[in-house]
Structure formats: C-alpha cells, structure tokens
Structure 1
Amino acid sequence: MADPESIPSPRQLRVTKILSPVGPSEADLLRTKELNKFLIDAGLYESKEESLKRMKVLSIIEQVHGPGTSIDTLCVGPSYVNRDEDFFFGLHNMLTEMEEVTELQPVPVAHVPAMKFKFDGISINLFYASISLLVVPREGLDILDNSVLYNVDEPTTRSLNGCRYTDQILKLVPSVEHFRTTLRCIRFWAKQRGIYSNVTGFLGGVSWAIMVARVCQVYPNAIPSMLVSRFFKVFSHWRWPNPVMLCTLQENELGLDVWDPRKNPEDRTHCMPIITPAYPSMNSSYNVSTTTLGVITEQILFGNRICEDIELKKAEWPALFEAYMFFKRYKNYLQIDIVALNTDDLREWKDWVESQIRQLTLMIERDTKGKLQCHPYPRAYSDPSKHCAHIAFFMGLMRKQSDVVIGEGQSQFDIRGTVDEFRHLVNMYVFWRPGMDVYVSRVRAKQIPVYVFPERIRASRGAKASTSSDV
C-alpha cells in the first residue's frame, strides 16, 4: 500500500492515483459477511414495506407540486414560478390541507431554503429550484449539465447542488453497491461517535460520502469490510488541510464562486477541506473548526485501532460502533436549554438555535484566546417527565488550567459576557415569537440531568426508569 501521507498539498490540487488494485481475500469476504449481518441486525436497512411507503410518499408529493421533475425531494420549476409566492405560500397552503402532512415547517431563510414536514410519518425536506426554462420536462432533464445553473439565484444553485453532488459521486466510484454499503457503515459510525453534524461544526452527509468515495477510488477492487478498514487507515494519516477531491476542479465557466485556495485567500483558512465534485466546487466542511477537527481526528484514530484489532481477530464489528460516552469525557459542560410556548414553536426555534451553537463555540474560543475549547454534542435531549416545550443541548469544556464560571465566583475564564452575546445573537431571529428563549449554564459532570442517560444508567443513578428521547 502506498503511504497515505504522500497525498498532495492544496497547492497542487490534483487527485491521487490508485493506492492498491488488490481484491478481497477469503478473510475479507468473511469479514464483509459479518459486517453485513451486523448492519441488518442493527436495523440499518429498510424493509421492503418501508421502501415502498417512501416511494409512495414521493409519488404523492410530485402530484401536489404539479408539473416538474422530482428528484428525491427536489422540486424543479420554470423561471416564472416564484419561490416565495408559489412555493412557500401556495404549496404551503396546499400541504396544510392534507391530513397526511404533519409538523409542516417552512424555512425560507436557511442557507438552502426548504419546506420541512412529515408525510404519512416520513420526514421530508423539500427544496425548490427555479431554472431558466419556460417549460421543465418531466423526463430527460440532466441536472448534471452546467446549463441548469445559467442565470439562477444562489438559493437555486444550492438547492440543485445537493442532487448534482450525489449524482456525480455515484458516477465517480468504481462500485456503487460497495460505496453505498461502506457509506452506510461510516455514517452510522459517525452518528454513534457524535461527529455527524454539519451545523454544529462536524461533518454532514455529503462530506462523509466524498471521503468514502475517495477511498473507493484508490482501492477500486476492495469490498466493504476492506473499504471500512482502509477508510480509517487513510484518514488517520491524512495531512490536513490537504483537500479531499474526487476529480479535478472544473473551470469557472458561469462565473460562480468555486473553491480554489490559489485564487481565494479565504479558502486557505479552511482546516479540513472536502471538495464537492460538481461545478461549482465548494468545501462541504467549511464549518469545521480547529477544535472539531481535533475531535474528528481523535475518533478516526479510534476507528483505525478497532479495525486493526478486527483484522487481528482481537475484536468484532460491534466494537467499532459503540456509542461515544460523551458525558463521561469531561468534568465541565455547558447546558443550553431551549424553550418555547408550544411544540410547533419549539421545533422552529430549536433549528435556529442549533444552527448558532457553532458560533457560541467560536465566541468562547475567541474570548479565551483559544485556552478554552468547546466540544458541542450534536444531539438534543428532552425530559419525558415534563410536559413542556423544552429541549437541551450540551457542550463539553476542554479547559487547560482553571475552571470556567458563568455564574458567581472568580476564575481565569469568565464567559458570562460571551453567553450574553450569544443570547443576543439568537434573539435576533426574524421569526421570533413570545415564549422563545434560550438559557446557558455551566454544569459539572455529576450535575448532568439524568434524562440524557440510557435507562440502565439512569436506574443505577437512582433515577426513575423512563426513556430519554431525541428531538
């Protein structure tokens, strides 16, 4: 195997060649069989009934929004259809009248504007793209053709790019089947280890897909068990900020912003560039900070150690997917409580506050000159014993010399002013309504509320047996 550290620097911006054409051994085939069994037992594959239900829901959604091409949950419309009036108002009103639709939440001011809802229990994120055509064909529209980006606004470009990236990735991997199985493993692993979240400064689905696809490219004949192991091997040696790229950068033919550190000084500041493969190429991991990169790297090293043990028959696959014990990792935490008057308001308010938590981590690191670093955990918790619109996020505090205080007391790091700045920031929400509020407090590990723990741990702490829930 070629040395992963030989991967080129950002200045070169070229794609590495195949590292090894070797195919699977008998042991690899056996490990892949064991891995597939684990995935099935863990419930990571949809049943036939669930798949049919999902397809039925998408078919009905297509009938609702009328003529156009529906790709997953992307609605493509002609140039005269207005996003605000026709999509966020007209379609919204149609969806409210459908009894199958619940938890309807328009998000028009997001980075990628969307309509979020559940349809017959299936979660839907419906995006809209208005392209420069008077008539959109129901079949034959190639969204990978750069011409679809001609004379469109930025929200449309971002809406189209999600599907453009996915389609291009599938074209660039040697085996779609092996890629999908490996990605299923890595995404599950990342969620278990608390590093699957673009919004809080870790990596989202596109970034993990690009990383997995790159490993598939450099090991074209490998099968899933080999690819999972090599994923951790390659990225435990990766020399960031060398970029992960699946293909060379395309020329800037339409004048859209393209990630290129040779031309854009801001791009040189990205600490973990993972570059999307379709024009206009962007860094899908721009939210990653120095601190979250450290957490991601730590977890990848953990995965590499476990995979090495699996190959030596010292461990089995379940060991790789053990949940990260976040609330045993630190002595001090920040608890971010989010409240609203009702569950509908809470759902909307929670999305906004969660999107700003990354700013809180950056503010704290800025105000403490990097001496205090924060590890946000991308999971929201609710107390099932309380009948109120409330959820909480938590953030581990990595202090070097002394404690942190938000309330009374003296300390080297007093971040009360930083917290006030954060609360002021989130309260600038344009759709703020009475009752929406956020509270930030420091808690020690022994003060962590019991509802965040699994039932067996709550019982051992003397708590009443009940089930904590994700929001």
Structure 2
Amino acid sequence: MEGESSLSLLQLMAKEGLVPSPEEEERRKNVVEKLKKIIMAWVKKVAWQRRLPTKHIAETSATILTYGSYGLGVHGSDSDIDALCVGPVFATMAEDFFIVLHNMLKGREGLSEIHCVKDVKVPLMRFKLDGISIDLPYAQLKVLSVPEDVDILNPCFLSDIDETSWKSLSGIRVNKRIHQLVPNLENFQSLLRCIKFWATRRGVYGNLNGFLGGVHLAILTAFVCQCHPNASLSALVSNFFKTFALWPWPTPVELQDGAMPTTINPAETQFFMPIRLPCSPSEYCHSNITRCTFYKIRVEFLRGHKLTKDAGRPNFDWENIFEPFPYSKKYMRFIKIYVSAANQDDLGDWVGWVKSRFRFLLIKLEEVQSPCDPNPAEYVDVDVEEPNAVFYWGLLPGKTNFPDIESVKEAFWKVVSNGYQGSLGRLELSIVQVSQLPNYARLDNASRKGTKACWKIFDYNQQRIPIYSQHLPDYVVGYMTTNRDTKYPSAGG
C-alpha cells in the first residue's frame, strides 16, 4: 500500500512540473560544460598576465562546482544553477574575476543579463547562459592549479583561504556531506522536492522573509532519511512532519556522521530553530526566523503531521498537503509594503536591499505587539507607472490591530537607508483591509514565484577610465565608469 501511495505522490510531482524533462537536464549539463571551458580559458589568460612560466600556464586550471538545488539534484524545470568558480592562488576576485572574467563573458554569444553583485556576504556574478540563469560566486584556493574533481572537503585545499572564499565554499561542502551521509540518494531527492513544494505552497519557504531556506530544508530532509533508511517515500513524508512537529526546539538538528555527538552550547540555542551545518559541526545555518515566523512554521508542521498520519493508504489524497495557504481567508488586515524606483534597473538593487532588511521589520512589528505572517510572494502593481514591487503581510491578532505604522515605517526607513550606495527609491508602509486587496494579491502564493533582485546594467556610453593590470602595466583589463552612483566596474574593454 505504501508503494501505491508513493507512486501517486511521484505522479503528482510530475504533474506539477517539479521534475525536469531529460531534454532540460541535458541542456543544463551542456551549459555547465560550456561554463567550464570558459573558466579554463580565463585562468590561462590570467596566468599569462601574471607572466608565469609557459609550463605553468599549460598546467594551470580552474573549475566549476555546482551546489544548491541543482547540485543536490532537486531542481525544477525553471530553476537556476548555483555554480562556484574555484580558481588558483594567483587569480584574484577584484581584478581577475570581476573584471577579466566579466570582460570575457560579456561579449559571448548566448550570454545575457550579466550583473556584478559585490555588496553582499558572498559576492557573485549573475547572468543567463543559453537562457538558463546562473549565480556564479568565486573562491580562491592557495594552489597553482585546481583539479576538475577537487575534493573541497580536503583540509589541504582549505588551509589559509580568505573569509569570502570560505563562505563561498560553504554551499559546496554542505551538498557534498549530504550526498555522503544520506542512505538512499534517490529517496532523499524525492522527499526534498516534496518538502520544498509544500513549504512554497504553505508560505514558509524563503530565508529573507524569516522562514526556511533551501539549506535548512535539505538538512532537515537528510536527517529524516538517516532516521528511516528503509522507508518508502510516503512514509518519509509522514515521518518528516511527525519528527519536526514534535521536535523539542531549540534542540539543534544535526546529521549523524559516526562521530561523537556535538555538545550543545547554551549560547547558540538562542536561535528558534538551530540547524547545524554537516560540514562544520560548530557552525549553524544562517537563519532569519523570528518569533512569529517560528510560530507559523510550527503550525504548518503540525498541520502536515495531522494530514499525513494515514499517508500509507493507496488512495491517499496528496493534494490536501500542498493546498496553497489561504491568506485572503485567514487574515482580515494586511501590512502593505510598496517599494519603487525611478527605473527598472534601479528597482532590482533597491528591492533586493529592502528584502535583505525584512527581518528588522518583522522584529519591530513584534515589539509593538503586532506580529504578522510575511507572505513571500512578490507582486507588481500594474496600475502604477513607476517600476515597483508590492508585498502583503497578513496581520495577526495582537494587543493592537492597528499598529502605529508611521513609527514602524520611520524605524525601518532608518535601517534601509543606512549604508545603501545606490539611489534611494520609495518605501511606503500602510495597513489595508482584506476587502481592499487588489485582485492579483487575492491569488494564493502557489503560482507566485519569488524573484531574485535584478542588478544594474550600466550605460557604456559614459566616460570610462581604463584599468590596467597590476602585473602587466600596459595591459587594459577593463574600464571604470565615472558615474559616482555606479558601484561596480564595467568590463567593456
């Protein structure tokens, strides 16, 4: 019976488009291989610029390692690819990655929408290659040549690397440890697809909004697979909800690797849902979970547990588990967050910055006794001419149904405007009744895909200052625009 129930769940996943077709898989593989060839050409060019001996230039190499949903094999048909560029000691991030490689990529056929994203914890380039979106950070190892199959868990490769490279490598290391620790990779992948689909439908997926991110869900899923190594898919889903509905938070969740259990540091259990990284038992997944988002996640775990107690029945209806969260039926009032900018390019930067500060807004609302449910869906008000993004957060019953939204906005604006290097856009906060919601916001979040921030495309007609290689004084590696609002160097050389 469990086999029939598992099969019906797999059929539902296929119907929802959660599994890419063989043609789409082949397309992604080709894109990764093409990117690897570009990286190899790039590293040899940099070696030449450094005036390395001819023998060393011939032997040097860099590589591409995939991680995230693609690296775990749980990506969908419209998922992007998280790929890490791993380079040798002589290839720097500032000059060689963000200028030389950017310059090589920019003019390539099939490559579009390339942007440099620097002012973040893990700097990266974002672009589309043959129509597939790619996020490409960089890690620099203290070696002269990076083998294609580099073992990123080997301490020899990780010694004495800089902090940014260490952070960039974290996703690769987590993925690799999960691959090593789960007893059945195929079951893990199917379960994780289901859980990500559930979290998206129920509005509890998205780290910026204070919910569970991809790495959190991957580790929780791997933990359940370890605890039930021989279970069917339907039993794994049931056990997932049972495990975390009854979990004694803030006891950390930690994958078992055969080593002695890690002792719990009381200071580190201040997180609502501590989840340890499998590649480093002393580190926890970064989390933005607050009191109100923790409450919703727990409620959804309990709901899932209640609905999946009989998941082994052959005629079990899986649709109920993935029913979209009914925001417009659940809440009478909403906090409307309206973000806009003068043009579409500025909007991407501005929205990304505002979203990165959402946790402060959540905590501020909790302080004034007006907790909320931050719907991760991002909407666009098509009736407004200026480029915009709109968010609607359900307002939970609190000590006051009408918080002093002006004081909340003032405090949030101070946080958002502090440190932003671009042109500040508009930010409006207001309270709206459910009857005032526009038609587009009455939709559930099932069909709303969270959008990543777009980043500026520069005007290459501006006056530009040439940037010369530090190692070949007469060699121009790119140009810096003279516009003071431009944060990143262009590479139009």
State the TM-score, normalized to the length of structure 1: 0.82
Q: Displacement, 1:305?
A: 1.7
The correspondence for 1:447, drawn from 424, 436, 450, is 436
- For residues 274-423 of structure 1, the aligned pairs below 5 Å read 274-279=275-280, 281-311=282-312, 315-366=316-367, 368=368, 371-384=369-382, 386=384, 388-404=386-402, 413-423=403-413
Residues 64-94 of structure 1 show CA distances to partners (whole Å, capped at 9, x for unaligned) of: 2333121110110112211122222222233
Residues 383, 468 of structure 1: 8 Å contact kept: no
Q: Is residue 248 of structure 2 the alignment partner of residue 239 of structure 1?
A: yes
Moved more, 306-315 or 115-124: 306-315
Quote the residue 1:187 is aligned against: 196
Quote the residue 2:469 is aligned against: none
Residues 182, 225 of structure 2: 8 Å contact kept: yes
Quote the residue 2:31 is aligned against: 57
Quote the residue 1:75 is aligned against: 85
Residues 330, 396 of structure 1: 8 Å contact kept: yes
Residues 81-117 of structure 1 show CA distances to partners (whole Å, capped at 9, x for unaligned) of: 1112222222223333234233323221212222222
Quote the residue 1:458 is aligned against: none
**Corresponding residue SS for 2:391:** strand
Quote the residue 2:485 is aligned against: none
Q: Is residue 96 of structure 2 the alignment partner of residue 86 of structure 1?
A: yes
Distance 2:220 2:399 in 1: 36
Residues 124, 138 of structure 2: 8 Å contact kept: yes
Moved more, 76-85 or 35-44: 76-85
Distance 1:80 1:64, change over 3 A: same
Distance 1:30 1:249, change over 3 A: closer
**Corresponding residue SS for 1:282:** strand
Q: Is residue 3 of structure 2 the alignment partner of residue 32 of structure 1?
A: no
Q: Displacement, 1:312?
A: 5.6
The aligned amino acid for 2:7 is: K
The correspondence for 2:422, drawn from 428, 432, 439, is 432
Residues 410-469 of structure 1 show CA distances to partners (whole Å, capped at 9, x for unaligned) of: xxx4242221121122223433126x22221111211112222349xxxxxxxxxxx988
Residues 101, 120 of structure 1: 8 Å contact kept: yes
Q: Displacement, 1:201?
A: 1.1
Residues 203, 285 of structure 1: 8 Å contact kept: no
Quote the residue 1:461 is aligned against: none
Q: Is residue 107 of structure 2 the alignment partner of residue 97 of structure 1?
A: yes
Q: Displacement, 1:332?
A: 1.7
Residues 250, 279 of structure 1: 8 Å contact kept: no
Q: Is residue 22 of structure 2 the alignment partner of residue 48 of structure 1?
A: yes
**Corresponding residue SS for 1:382:** coil
Distance 1:470 1:290, change over 3 A: closer
The correspondence for 1:150, drawn from 153, 159, 169, is 159
The correspondence for 2:138, drawn from 102, 105, 128, is 128
Distance 1:389 1:422 in 2: 21
Q: Displacement, 1:341?
A: 2.3
Moved more, 95-104 or 345-354: 95-104
Moved runs in structure 1, 4+ residues, more than 6 A? 248-251
The aligned amino acid for 1:286 is: S
Residues 382, 469 of structure 1: 8 Å contact kept: no
Quote the residue 2:78 is aligned against: none
Residues 214, 245 of structure 1: 8 Å contact kept: yes
Residues 102-151 of structure 1 show CA distances to partners (whole Å, capped at 9, x for unaligned) of: 33232212122222222222121111101111222233x10011333211
Residues 306, 315 of structure 1: 8 Å contact kept: no
Distance 1:130 1:402 in 2: 52
**Corresponding residue SS for 1:55:** helix
Distance 1:154 1:224 in 2: 39
The aligned amino acid for 2:172 is: C
Residues 251, 269 of structure 2: 8 Å contact kept: no
Q: Displacement, 1:180?
A: 0.5
Quote the residue 2:470 is aligned against: none
Q: Displacement, 1:354?
A: 0.9
The aligned amino acid for 1:246 is: L
State the TM-score, normalized to the length of structure 2: 0.78
The correspondence for 2:219, drawn from 199, 210, 215, is 210
Distance 1:45 1:138 in 2: 28
The aligned amino acid for 1:30 is: E
Residues 381, 470 of structure 1: 8 Å contact kept: no
Distance 1:468 1:341, change over 3 A: farther
Residues 143-180 of structure 1 show CA distances to partners (whole Å, capped at 9, x for unaligned) of: 01133321112211111010100110111011001100
Distance 1:90 1:199 in 2: 32
**Corresponding residue SS for 1:209:** helix
**Corresponding residue SS for 1:181:** helix
Gaps of 5+ in 1: 1-26, 252-258, 405-412, 456-466
Residues 100, 119 of structure 1: 8 Å contact kept: yes
Distance 1:321 1:338, change over 3 A: same
Residues 192, 324 of structure 1: 8 Å contact kept: yes
**Corresponding residue SS for 1:381:** coil
Moved more, 273-282 or 294-303: 273-282
Moved more, 175-184 or 149-158: 149-158
How many pairs align?
Answer: 412
The aligned amino acid for 1:230 is: N
Distance 1:418 1:386, change over 3 A: closer
Distance 1:470 1:268 in 2: 30
**Corresponding residue SS for 1:182:** helix
Distance 1:362 1:309 in 2: 38
Distance 2:258 2:232 in 1: 28
Distance 2:104 2:349 in 1: 20
Gaps of 5+ in 2: 41-60, 67-82, 452-493
Residues 405, 430 of structure 2: 8 Å contact kept: no
Moved more, 342-351 or 270-279: 342-351
**Corresponding residue SS for 1:294:** helix
